[in-house]
Amino acid sequence: MNKKIIVSILMATIALCVSAQARIGIRGGISVGKLSFDRELVSSDNRAGYCGGLVLDLNIPVIGLGFEASAMYTHRKNRLTDNELVYKRHYIDIPVYARYRLTIPGMSHVFAPIAFTGPSFSILFSENAPKNYKNSRTFLSWDVGGGVDLFNHLRLTASYSIGISKAMSYINSEYTGKQVSGKDRCWTISAAYLF
């Protein structure tokens, strides 16, 4: 690549960042094991945790692209069996998403579908794990989701988190005595208000 092309790409990137509209907001939500559209969605057996925190939204006018970064407190719980609660974990999550907002002429200030994807970095700061459990202090997951912006301020989303790195491991002494590793996978339903 010659220098003129590199400089042009760099200048275009800087121009997009400068023209981006920045907003901050607050977000809250719940994590669930499976996504359903009935009472099972919020039942205690299906809930895997909850989250809340701040969000920074950058929107590039006209083309619909944007970026979103959050700092979230996240509480997760795990079960070894259907009836036995094993432990709870507390994280600071930092998801960073690339987002596309579909602009519908005449409707964009009332209703706009969105899609997003990106990494989420988790930092463990508290847990009540049994002795045979070992949690990773940090781990990485990849989120994919979609939702809708309503009245240009309220954002409702559903996303699926796919664990990339190991979140926990435990010695399954009762059965095999082998170390078992686990990666977090869950749905998150959330609402954000952008100022």
Tell whether 102 is covered by a domain: yes
Burial class (CB in 10 A: 0-12, 13-18, 19+), 137: exposed
**Lowest-pLDDT range, 56-65, 124-133, 165-174?**
165-174
What was the pLDDT predicted at 61? Answer: 74
Tell me the range of 2-16, 22-36, 60-74 where mean pLDDT is highest. 60-74
Tell whether 137 is covered by a domain: yes
Higher pLDDT, 36 or 191: 191
CB neighbour list of residue 190: distance below 8 Å, 6 or more residues apart: 27, 28, 29, 30, 51, 156, 157, 158, 159
Tell whether 6 is covered by a domain: no
Q: Which domain holds residue 55?
A: 22-194
Locate 44 and state its tokens. Answer: 């205690």
What was the pLDDT predicted at 147? Answer: 97
CATH of the domain at 118: 2.40.160.20
Mean pLDDT (the chain) is 81
Whether residue 32 has pLDDT greater than 90: no
Tell whether 134 is covered by a domain: yes
Whether residue 6 has pLDDT greater than 70: yes
Q: What is the band of 93 on the pLDDT scale with cuts at 50, 70, 90?
A: very high
Task: Give the residue-averaged pLDDT of 161-173.
Answer: 74
Tell whether 52 is covered by a domain: yes
Tell whether 7 is covered by a domain: no
Amino acid at 12: A
Whether residue 36 has pLDDT greater than 90: no
What was the pLDDT predicted at 41? Answer: 46
Tell whether 10 is covered by a domain: no
Tell whether 16 is covered by a domain: no
- Count of domains in the chain? 1
